[in-house]
Structure 1
Amino acid sequence: MRTALLAALDHGDDGALRAALMLGGRSVLARQGEVVRALGCERVICLTERFGEEILALQRMVEADGGEFHALRSGLQLPGIVRAEDELVVMLDGLVPQRDAVEAVVCAEGELVRGIVTLPASHPLAQAHPHAFERIDRDRSWAGVFVMRAAPVQQLADLPGDSATIPLLLRLALQAGTPCRALDTQALGEGDWLFATSHAGLAAREQAMVDSALVEAPWTGPGRALAQEIARRLAPRGLSAGPLLGSGAALVLLVLGAVLAGFGFGTTGLLLAVLGAFAGAWMEAAASLARGLLGGSRRRIPLRAMGAALDALAAAVLVCALLFGSEVTEPDIAEAALGPFAIGLARLAARERPPLERAFWEDRTVHLAVFASAAGLGVLAPVLALFGLVALVRLLLRQGRV
């Protein structure tokens, strides 16, 4: 059985447990658990002195995925769980490596290979934390991960009970002839191989992750830009369920807007549609942040399909407002077609445009706000016709037909 050994024992510079420090809405221990599960570890063992929330969260994550979890207070308990024929993946307490970076050094042709991952002894991590990244020889230090046959684990029963388990296993792996595998530090991106030292250190990395996860929205799409800024300021709070809640709120608000417009409250229905479009824009920004900070640990929302659904509902609100608005004396089907006409042309105009122009044509919050104002003034149909005409001209210009 492939087994992972993690630890939640060491404390950082600010006295906090390294494994419990948060990065992007997840604990360091949870991120380690996801990496070793991605490596195919069927069993996860964690050494800990206390059974805090980070341990319980790891247990829930592993067992929900069909894995086996054990929390141990002492390394002396390992020989009773791990068998000699098992593969053992060991990770340094507090290390936060990216999954791709780990796979690049411990996998070959898709298969896990035995080895002690090393980095140059002159590397900043090894220089700053020599007790964590132990020196192996004159030129190399342990990088925080190794894969070994589990047979030497049985020797722990003969060693003092107060000895540090992971450093002992590292020495046993070296004595057993486990090969060293150099980590390609030149290929690592910023934060790909991180050591959790304190809340402040991880906060700086978290902000960098937020910035890289979002492509800044241009000012020509103020509704989307505002939604993105709110999502940025809230991150990482609410990212696990936020995109799902945001999409649900957007759908509900747009449906309610269509219902109200159908009962003659066209302007009110369009105002609800504005809120729905804004919720959809926030949902999209939150989903991008969730992908960047939480990776593949959460179910993804199909953004393209959701965008099409929200636009279809926005068009339905416009149709209802044009057919049943309080100022409408006689429904005109031809006039009602202006709603889908305007939304559809805006979607087409947003394709393959320069970023500044695309941001405007994608910003349904601003569009619906303009349409709601027009409905309040009794000029919704002319404004929709003008809007669609401008979009049509832009499409023709793009194709060189004007």
Structure 2
Amino acid sequence: MAISTGNRGVVYTGPGKVEVHSIAFPELSLGKRQCQHGVILKVLTTNICGSDQHMVRGRTTAPSGLVLGHEITGEIIECGRDVEFLKVGDIVSVPFNIACGRCRNCKEGRTGICLNVNPARPGAAYGYVDMGGWVGGQAEYVMVPYADFNLLKFPDSDQARDKIRDLTLLSDIFPTGFHGCVTAGVGPGSTVYIAGAGPVGLAAAVSAQLLGAACVIVGDMIPERLAQAKSFGCETIDLRQDAELPALLEQILGVPEVDAAVDCVGFEAHCHGSCHHEEKPAAVLNSMMDITRAGGQIGIPGLYVTEDPGAVDEASKQGSLSMRFGLGWAKSHSFHTGQCPVMKYHRQLMQAILFEKVQIAKAVNVQVISLDEAPKGYADFDGGAAKKFVIDPHAEFAA
């Protein structure tokens, strides 16, 4: 296979700004670190994520010039000499977590907090602030390290291309939504509340259905996103209403509580009701404790950060939030936070897609766009579009 030497990528250039720039063609290295265990991918699809949006809004310490993108599906065009079980031409899903496969946490299946791939802290990801300096994949080509361990090879390349709109979601949001539900204890017959109807929230809602939930309720403040949740059988709550959340749940369930709750909003949360324009970082966390039954579990796949330059108060700028933790303690709640360990789930979810047990692309309303349309995709997503924007860098999958 001929290997290109040109490359373009989506680059963060300052708060509110992303641009498509020429960037270096990837090599099997990161600085002085050799990555002969890695591969170079021709990127087939790469998705815009709400986590990217936090950086683009200027709500993190991301530096200008960062190449964005951690949701990647691609075709291998070059293998390092230490890659044994993959070959040129394979189509693969890339977990957004970068994991070495060798450290204690990786061996325990906790690949979201690998100890060897980020000198600053446990855990790494492509194209993300403080996550190890790995170049992002919203580009034409990208390097992926520890390929044998990390990559999920699709069993049939033609089938993978046919189902790419669904399979592209295995790199992050489908496993992340599923993880949120699993850690919230969702199972057959559960009643579930999902906070947030963005792509992760919608993926969590589908996951709750896949896990056998009896009733899935999604709360948000954007009518178009609530309509999207309703389109595949969810109950919905418009959080701009002044009524208290337990009372709104009681109208649906007959009781003011749920078995399981999943926070798919994170640190840019807003107040409910008439003050919904006001940011209140712990609003969702506190409401989750209010509406989850005693002994219930709360999954928190929504992102919370250690530094937020744009926060509403000094404490929140350091990730210190005003939680009513005593209520959670009194109700014996379990809380589960952190990055989803994608590899724990992606093969099973791939099977659910390939055997047509789930229509995840339809649920999150995938829209395929070109690389040059990425800046507009970011702007539309920031405006609350009820869509999951999937970038097609080589114009292979446009509708």
Q: TM-score range by the shorter chain?
A: under 0.3
Identify, as 1 or 2, the structure richer in strand. 2
Structure-1-length-normalised TM-score: 0.25
Identify, as 1 or 2, the structure richer in helix. 1
| Structure with greater contact order relative to length (CA < 8 Å, sep ≥ 6) | 2
Higher-Rg member (1/2): 1
Structure-2-length-normalised TM-score: 0.25
